[in-house]
Amino acid sequence: MKSGGRINRRADKRDESHVMKGLAAGLFGGLVASWTMNQFQALLSKLSEKDKKSQSEKSAQQGGGQEEQKKSQDESKEGDDATIKAASA
């Protein structure tokens, strides 16, 4: 019976060893995945900021011409009601 107990103890130690290795591997994998995700999110936010800036610059360039058109339309509608002027603005 003693020999059977020794075998079970060895198997338990092996199982504990495998569990600890799995735990360490999972911890390491989680850390690497978290770091990778953070780097990806940082890159994505930088790209979206650049995209927003370029879109706002384009709209500002196009908006200048649109503002002049609105001014000329507003001048032609001076006789219109105030609610219509506010709605068109």
Which of the four pLDDT bands, split at 50, 70 and 90, describes residue 1? very low
* Cβ atoms of residues 89 and 70 within 8 Å: yes
**3 state SS for 20-62:** HHHHHHHHHHHHHHHHHHHHHHHHHHHHHHHHHHHHHHHHHHH
Q: Which of 14-18, 43-47, 64-68, 83-87 has the highest mean pLDDT?
A: 43-47
Write out the two tokens for 1.
């019976």
Mean pLDDT for the stretch of residues 68-89: 63
Tell me: the pLDDT tens digits for 26-77? 999 999 999 999 999 999 999 988 888 877 777 777 765 555 555 555 555 5
What is the rounded distance in angstroms from the CA atom of residue 36 to the CA atom of residue 42? 10
